[in-house]
Chains A and B, each alone.
Chain A
């Protein structure tokens, strides 16, 4: 073949190869693990004067077992999710919120456990192979990023009765190299968290009757007790045992 025709043909082949590599190499998708509990609790109705306020005492977050600061965004999202249920008249977060002492209120403790599996080893090896192939293997070597969340919610009614709820979900973002973006990880976390909170909401809605104002009278005990302990003890010792402290209840109770 004439070298003058061979050169443009080679360039054309290179361009075609680049396009073939780039186009399918830009895709990404999220796979969510199937739900075990998809039972719809059905519509529940509650009278407005039967609604009670909810105070979130604490939201703890752990990531792969390590304690983390709970972001304002996560806190807001949990509040929004609980507000959407419509079961509670008012929602607030923070242990220092003061409410009228004779009110019926529900107190909540939330633990959000995140598990991230970035598949770092696989990404590293695939990256080396993709680079060595001058990116031609990009469409054939998808990368992945796993995220799982478990939300446990403890609701304490004004009379001291406690109910626990748990929701969990997981998903995997699969992407081709050129389709990777930090937004992809946020999208995955968003879907998984949403799924968890929906599951929690379904469970709470089933117990609607338990949280209505007429479900129980306010308990009038003269002495209330709280436990004070050191946070996250690393080495268990005798001094880490809970210390009972008695606090006098306000006179109007």
Chain B
């Protein structure tokens, strides 16, 4: 199975799953209080960015991101930016299909700011960073070591089907490098569009 067909199958499965959820007649307004926990699973496809002429590797492949987060604050702010802060952690797994079939896995604490939005549709921004191990390191000119760090920043939209369940789509920018612990260390930069589900309890 090619990575693109895998991504298409995941998207189709998500669509079917979404359509099977019964529509609710009443208005859905998620009530996320301090201490509410979020468990989510997201999947996406990594696309390369060669930011300088020295970057030559076109790394790409599917990514899977199970995560946990907890609501830290009641809604803060009084304008369009009113929202809640969540703190959590995420495991990121990337299967690099190109340039070689290799794998990478990392653990990243993450902080997420979820805007109030329209109640049912809630935009968010997130930032995460942590250690990342990949056997792609040492086989490409940009990265010499297997032990690296991954930094992620992005945003997305959460659509609440029920007060506890949401469908998410978003975009992340990924940077992978070893923080200068070994040379060369040009780093790998990628875009990661993704989709997934969250459950709040």
Q: Which residues of A are interface residues toward B (Cβ below 8 A)? A: 116, 118, 120-121, 123-124, 127-128, 130-132, 134-135, 143, 145, 175, 177, 180-185
Complex contacts, A130 vs chain B, CB 8 Å: 87, 109
B130 touches A134 (CB 8 A): yes
B33 touches A185 (CB 8 A): yes
B72 touches A143 (CB 8 A): yes
Complex: how many Å from CA A175 to CA B35? 10
- A128-B34 CB under 8 A given contacts A120-B76, A134-B130, A177-B87: no
Report the minimum CB–CB distance from A223 to chain B (whole Å).
47
A131 touches B85 (CB 8 A): no
Q: Which residues of B are interface residues toward A (Cβ below 8 A)? A: 33-36, 70, 72-74, 76, 85, 87, 89, 109-111, 130
Complex: how many Å from CA A142 to CA B85? 16
Complex contacts, A127 vs chain B, CB 8 Å: 72, 85, 87, 111
B109 touches A135 (CB 8 A): yes
Report the minimum CB–CB distance from A48 to chain B (whole Å).
44
A180 touches B70 (CB 8 A): yes
From B36, B72, B85, B109, A132 is in contact (CB under 8 Å) with B109
Complex contacts, B72 vs chain A, CB 8 Å: 123-124, 127, 143, 180
Complex: how many Å from CA A143 to CA B34? 11
Chain A contact surface mostly: helix
Complex contacts, B76 vs chain A, CB 8 Å: 120-121, 124
Report the minimum CB–CB distance from B102 to chain A (whole Å).
21
Complex contacts, A123 vs chain B, CB 8 Å: 34, 72-73, 85
A118 touches B89 (CB 8 A): no
A182 touches B33 (CB 8 A): yes
B73 touches A182 (CB 8 A): no
- Nearest 3 A/B pairs, CB to CB: A180-B35, A131-B109, A120-B73
Most buried by B among A175, A183, A185: A185
Chain B residue nearest to A143 (CB atoms) is B72
6 A-B residue pairs with Cβ-Cβ distance under 8 Å, sorted by A, are A118-B73, A120-B85, A127-B72, A180-B34, A180-B35, A182-B33
Report the minimum CB–CB distance from B185 to chain A (whole Å).
22
B34 touches A118 (CB 8 A): yes
Complex contacts, B85 vs chain A, CB 8 Å: 120, 123-124, 127
From A116, A131, A181, B35 is in contact (CB under 8 Å) with A181
Complex: how many Å from CA A127 to CA B74? 14
A128 touches B111 (CB 8 A): yes
Complex contacts, A180 vs chain B, CB 8 Å: 34-35, 70, 72
Complex: how many Å from CA A124 to CA B73? 7
Report the minimum CB–CB distance from B13 to chain A (whole Å).
31
A131 touches B74 (CB 8 A): no
Complex: how many Å from CA A120 to CA B36? 15
Report the minimum CB–CB distance from A83 to chain B (whole Å).
30
B109 touches A145 (CB 8 A): no
Complex: how many Å from CA A130 to CA B85? 13
Complex: how many Å from CA A131 to CA B110? 7
Complex: how many Å from CA A180 to CA B110? 17
Complex contacts, A128 vs chain B, CB 8 Å: 111
